[in-house]
Amino acid sequence: MPRMARWLVGLGALAVLGVFVFPLWRVTLEAPQYPEGIGMLIHVDGVSGVEEHDLDNINGLNHYIGMQRIEPEAIPELRLMPWIAGLIVISGLLVAWRGSRGLYVGWATVVLATLGAGVYDFWRWEYDYGHDLDPAAAIRIPGLSYQPPLFGSKQILNFVAHSYPAAGGWLLILAGTVFGLVLVYLLFAPSPQIVRTESARRATLASVATLLIGTTMLASCAGSGPRLLVLGSDECAQCRMMITDARFGGEVITRTGKVQVFDAVECLAAYVASADPALIRSVWVSNFAHPGEWIEASTARFIIGASIGSPMGRSLLALDAGVPAEAAQRRYGGRLIGWSEMLRAARSPAASGAANAATPAGY
């Protein structure tokens, strides 16, 4: 490794020490009632309020929408992360000291993948908090998720949530960038001094493979799944009505990755029943009990003739298969059916006729 690269890597590793001093991320909330702001800081080993009681106050506010309490003790990663960071620092210094190119390539690949996984994990927690809501909450807005952004600002009810790296996060980003640039330089810069040994080639191959796999994994997590319904804007692909209630919605993801949205299971079933199965990659229904959460249609359980009216009139709603049948029926009434029965019903002319008959005038 060139001398300069070794220095950079060593300094980068030292920069990671900053996470023990500074918070990684800062999520702040602004609302008319909180002109002074209220926020929390995510540290390598915990979560704290920007001001002493902010975390409690955020939890207090969140109880209205049924968000789980943010309890740092309940997040196991916070116990793991200091060790990982420490390991990165020590191993980084060793790698820089040894100066072995092959060793570095392998090390950097693992470190970058770890950082990527960390960001993904953070997003995953945000998704969880934003979607896994207590159905008994006082404020329930069907289809609205309260997930704060990973990076940026977002309006959530009366709050604007800002989420940006804090000093520790920036140091980590800086270190990651340095590691990445050195890695790219070592892999691709024409360098006569470097003798490409067999082991270096193997390491390169392994790291490229890891990166590819990692990227693919991340990509598959992030994309090609069902998306959130945009209430008041999305239009049902079947009946062309505006979608206003996410509890009953559905989505079809086509082979090409296009997402078709539906306002009700009736419409979704009608669309799927008449479509070429080869063009459909996956079918999703909204979890009635957790609006915003998607269930693969084939694994969902449906209630037909429920005590709650659905947009297309058949009182159809979808629930997670894990919900005990008796509990669901006691709560919602009606009859429990599966997806295949649903499709059969949609294909039968009687059913569609019935659905049409129950459609509001003007359809």
List residues near other proteins by CB under 8 A.
Answer: 36, 52-53, 56-57, 60-61, 64, 128, 132, 134-136, 138-139, 287, 289-290, 293-296, 319-320, 322-324, 327-328, 330-331
8-state DSSP, 254: E
**Of 354, 348, 285, residue with least CA distance to 314:** 354
CB-CB neighbours of 318 under 10 Å: 28
Q: State in angstroms the smallest separation of the CB of 283 from other proteins.
A: 14
Look at the block and give the residue holding tokens 């809501």.
Answer: 133
Write down the least CB distance from residue 14 to other proteins, Å.
37
Which residues make Cβ contacts (< 8 Å) with residue 209, sequence separation at least 6? none
Q: Which residue's CB is nearer to other proteins, number 68 or number 100?
A: 68
Smallest gap, in angstroms, from Cβ of residue 19 to other proteins?
A: 28
What DSSP character marks residue 69? P
Minimum gap (Å) between residue 18 Cβ and other proteins: 30
- Closest CB 348 distance from other proteins, rounded Å: 30
How many whole angstroms separate alpha carbon 310 and alpha carbon 334? 13
Q: How many residues are recorded in the chain?
A: 363
Closest to 163 (Cα-Cα) out of 27, 10, 34, 324: 27
In the complex, minimum distance from the CB of residue 110 to other proteins, in angstroms, rounded to a whole number: 26
Q: Name which of 54 and 171 has its Cβ closer to other proteins.
A: 54
What dihedral do alpha carbons 310, 316, 317, 321 form, nearest 10°? 180
Q: Between 15 and 317, whose beta carbon lies closer to other proteins? A: 317
d(C-alpha 83, C-alpha 85), whole Å:
5
Cβ-based nearer residue to other proteins, 173 or 337: 337
In the complex, what is the shortest distance from the CB of residue 336 to other proteins, in angstroms, rounded to a whole number?
13
Looking at residue 145, what DSSP letter applies? -
62 or 238: CB nearest other proteins: 62
Q: Alpha carbon 109 to chain centroid distance?
A: 24
113-137 per-residue burial string, b: 16 or more CB within 10 A, e: under 16: bbbbebbbebbebbbebbbebeeee
Q: Count the alpha carbons within 13 Å of 90 in the hemisphere toward its beta carbon.
A: 6
Minimum separation from the CB atom of position 30 to other proteins (A): 15
Question: Closer CB to other proteins, residue 95 or residue 323?
Answer: 323
Q: Which is nearer to other proteins, 113 or 317 (CB)?
A: 317
Closer to other proteins by CB, 92 or 334: give it. 334
Residue 354 CB coordination number (10 Å): 15
Contact criterion met (CB below 8 Å) for 16 and 88: yes
